[in-house]
């Protein structure tokens, strides 16, 4: 509501919350706000519902625990100006440090960078053309991808040849009231789903996949499981590391 860019609609999707969202939205008495509700908790379902009901040319996402700066929409829309399909910007943390992976410019070859680096743009840092995200049929609603559906979506958008632009400026705060859902067990589930969807026919799986598996196995099943995974896959891990291109 405080954005300097005013030609927008706000679609609030209440994803099975218990925090009296409906009453709060009504109390704002803002005609530009449309309140929707979902019946099954999932990161993809509320976003897809919002996209379906949106009337605008662009879609900008804002998770309930993140914040935007007042000029976020104005800066992003001015940057895009029909030249780009997908825009992302830096985000800072509560300690005012910029997220490390948001210093990376992936615009020259977004597909290669997303495959090699893994998930880079966070949802609340995205502005995308509605027609672009509809072409890839939005976010995958599989339970196996909950909390990883954004990376899967950006990768599919990149693979279809969409043009990306990057704003090297923090236009929001990430995890202002963070409620983490990506614990190590969930992370392993997501990694397996991503591997199956995007790397199943790939001879050399990117190094970040192996690194993430070992890291999360260490937290969920302990040092022994991580060590066994590393020993069993040492040859492919070595090939993945040596073939990594940045």
pLDDT of 203 reads 78
Q: In what order do the strands lie in the sheet containing 164-173?
A: 58-60, 126-129, 86-92, 164-173, 67-68
pLDDT of 16 reads 81
Tokens of 6: 């005013």
Domains of the chain: 10-173 (3.90.550.10), 184-243 (no CATH)
> Rounded to whole angstroms, how far apart are CA atoms 241 and 233?
12
> Rounded to whole angstroms, how far apart are CA atoms 90 and 95?
14
* C-beta of residue 219 within 8 angstroms of C-beta of residue 188: no
> Rounded to whole angstroms, how far apart are CA atoms 138 and 153?
7
**Span 180-239, pLDDT tens digits:** 667 899 999 999 999 999 998 887 899 999 999 999 999 999 999 999 999 999 999 999
Which residue stretches of the chain have pLDDT < 50?
A: none
pTM of the model: 0.91
C-alpha distances (whole Å) from 41 to each of 90, 100, 119, 205 are 28, 29, 22, 31
HEC string of 7-35 equals CCCEEEEEECCCCCHHHHHHHHCCCCEEE
pLDDT of 84 reads 97
Cβ count near 109 (within 10 Å): 13
């Amino acid at each position: 509501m405080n954005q300097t860019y005013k030609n927008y609609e706000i679609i609030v999707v209440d994803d099975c919350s218990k925090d009296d969202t409906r009453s709060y939205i009504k109390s704002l008495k803002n005609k530009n706000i449309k309140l929707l509700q979902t019946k099954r908790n999932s990161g993809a379902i509320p976003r897809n519902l919002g996209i379906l009901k949106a009337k605008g040319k662009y879609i900008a996402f804002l998770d309930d625990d993140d914040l935007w700066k007042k000029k976020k929409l104005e800066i992003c829309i001015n940057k895009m100006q029909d030249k780009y399909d997908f825009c992302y910007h830096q985000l800072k943390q509560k300690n005012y440090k910029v997220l490390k992976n948001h210093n990376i410019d992936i615009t020259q070859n977004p597909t290669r960078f997303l495959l090699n680096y893994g998930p880079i743009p966070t949802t609340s840092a995205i502005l995308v053309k509605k027609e672009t995200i509809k072409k890839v049929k939005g976010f995958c609603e599989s339970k196996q991808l909950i909390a990883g559906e954004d990376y899967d979506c950006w990768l599919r958008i990149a693979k279809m040849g969409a043009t990306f632009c990057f704003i090297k400026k923090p236009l929001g705060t990430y995890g202002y009231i963070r409620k983490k859902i990506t614990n190590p067990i969930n992370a392993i589930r997501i990694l397996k789903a991503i591997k199956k969807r995007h790397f199943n026919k790939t001879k050399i799986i990117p190094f970040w996949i192996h690194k993430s598996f070992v890291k999360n196995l260490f937290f969920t099943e302990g040092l022994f499981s991580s060590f066994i995974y590393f020993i069993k896959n040492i040859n492919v891990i070595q090939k993945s590391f040596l073939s990594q291109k940045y």
